[in-house]
Amino acid sequence: MKISEYLLSCQLKMVRLRKKKLLPGQMSDVGAFLFVCFMIPFTFLWEIFFITPELYKEGGEMWYLHVVLGTIMLVNIAGNFLGLWLVDTSTRHIVVPSKKIGENWHYCASCEAVAPPRSWHCNVCNTCILKREHHCMFAGYCVGHYNHRYFLLFLAWLWVGVLYCIYFNTTYLWNMEGVFSFYAVLKFIFPLIMIMTGVDMSTAQVAIFFWSVHVAAFLLVSVLLVYHIHLIYHGKTTFESNRRIANYDLGWKQNFIEVLGKSWKLALIWPFGKSKLPHNGVDWDTEATWKLEAPKNR
């Protein structure tokens, strides 16, 4: 093995965490980032300490059951969001010889460096991203090779979590008298304005606000989750799909392992578990090479 190839393999053995420019670089990202950071813990506190005690006897078996389930969801949502936000998936730590250009590698004028296949420059992050998927406004950072797993599972657990919250808030509001009236229509249309202006700062109005946010989040996350599962199923990223690049479809099972890692069962339930990815983000199997290599790997 050449020295340059050895150094490259050593650099990619450990996943690095970003230590600089942790906050989003543009204002639209800042708003989305702060909203997620605010809503995740406050939703948990609201549902566990205000809603569930109204539906179940506090200290009872059902209450403790929902506290445990809610905590599991919180850990997975927050843990995967941290991975999405903090894991460095850029090419800034990769040093490669210039002769690589032409072997599906390309020169990035912005970074003034050679970038590997599936890596593209992000003007917001101001760097090339390994297997660039897209720039995520909620994390203020790009989704790429090393944090793709966290992005997908963040969406999946968030989908479960908001559906769970919708059930509780709907049940809570349904049991309240006078909530569903003509005047209440305005409360559902402008929930936050009602609270901020002081027109209605009751617990019921706060519940309406959370219900509205969760319904909107459920619709958005459902669309995003279906879209990205479809992309992964076909071995593509958003960037590649937009440019009709379809060279990396290794079969749907392997395509998901490429994202979730070899210990995908652990990754599904524990965001801090290690799940080694089959590829290093630099050297990729194509559909043609996988037909030759797959039998050996199996």
pTM summary value:
0.86
Please list, in sequence order, all residues whose beta carbon lies within 8 angstroms of the beta carbon of residue 7, skipping any fewer than 6 positions away: 95
Question: Which residue out of 122, 136, 142, 165 is catalytically annotated?
Answer: 136
- The residue extents of the domains of the chain are 22-89+141-297
User: Is 136 marked active-site?
Assistant: yes
Cβ proximity of 63 and 73 under 8 Å = no
> Along the 298 residues of the chain, how does pLDDT read in single tens digits?
444 444 334 434 457 888 778 888 788 899 999 999 999 999 999 888 888 888 887 777 888 898 999 999 999 999 999 999 999 999 887 766 555 555 678 888 888 888 888 999 999 998 999 999 999 999 999 999 999 999 999 999 999 999 999 998 888 888 776 555 545 555 555 455 555 555 555 677 777 788 888 999 999 999 999 999 999 999 999 988 988 888 899 999 999 999 999 999 999 999 999 999 998 888 888 888 887 766 555 5
Give 181-225 as a DSSP string. SHHHHHHHHSHHHHHHTTS--SHHHHHHHHHHHHHHHHHHHHHHH
Cβ proximity of 256 and 232 under 8 Å = yes
Please list, in sequence order, all residues whose beta carbon lies within 8 angstroms of the beta carbon of residue 77, skipping any fewer than 6 positions away: 40, 154, 157, 158, 161
